[in-house]
Amino acid sequence: EVQLAESGGGLVKPGESLRLSCVGSGFTFSHAWMSWVRQAPGKGLEWVGRIKSTTDGGTTDYAAPVKGRITISRDDSKNTLYLQMSSLKTEDTAVYYCSTGSRRSGTMSPPFDYWGQGTLVTVSS
């Protein structure tokens, strides 16, 4: 059974930094493209960024609102995905999910078959 477990959320002040972690199990983590998705309270889903599998280059892509303030990385030896966030703003307040999926024919990027339970980040003074 695929499991994703996020941790590291909490209450921080504007301008501070925070690192989230996501541990995966039940699948070959090193082969997986991993994404972070966030959801502000009462709002919709917003893709934050992703990291490709190491075998596919391990490159990262980020959404415009967070580009330059976040870094996504992975440690395949620990089956762990990271989201390092800096210069946090009140509008970064959200539940942060890690997600992954199985590649289907016709596309390199997978849809999001699997989601963690999320970790809440609250940015407030």
**Footprint of other proteins (CB under 8 A):** 35, 37, 44-47, 50, 61-64, 97, 101, 104-107, 109-113, 115-118
Cα–Cα nearest to 14, from 77, 69, 61, 80 = 69
Residue 18 beta carbon to other proteins: minimum distance, rounded to whole angstroms? 21
DSSP code, position 70: E
Residue 7 beta carbon to other proteins: minimum distance, rounded to whole angstroms? 15
Residue 109 beta carbon to other proteins: minimum distance, rounded to whole angstroms? 5
Contact status, residue 72 vs residue 83, Cβ threshold 8 Å = yes
Relative to beta strand 18-25, strand 45-51 is: unpaired
Residue 2 beta carbon to other proteins: minimum distance, rounded to whole angstroms? 11
Closest CB to other proteins among 23 and 63?
63
Torsion, Cα of 5, 11, 15, 16 (10° steps):
-60
DSSP of 36-64, one letter per residue?
EEEE-TT--EEEEEEE--GGGT--EEE-T
Closest CB to other proteins among 64 and 125?
64
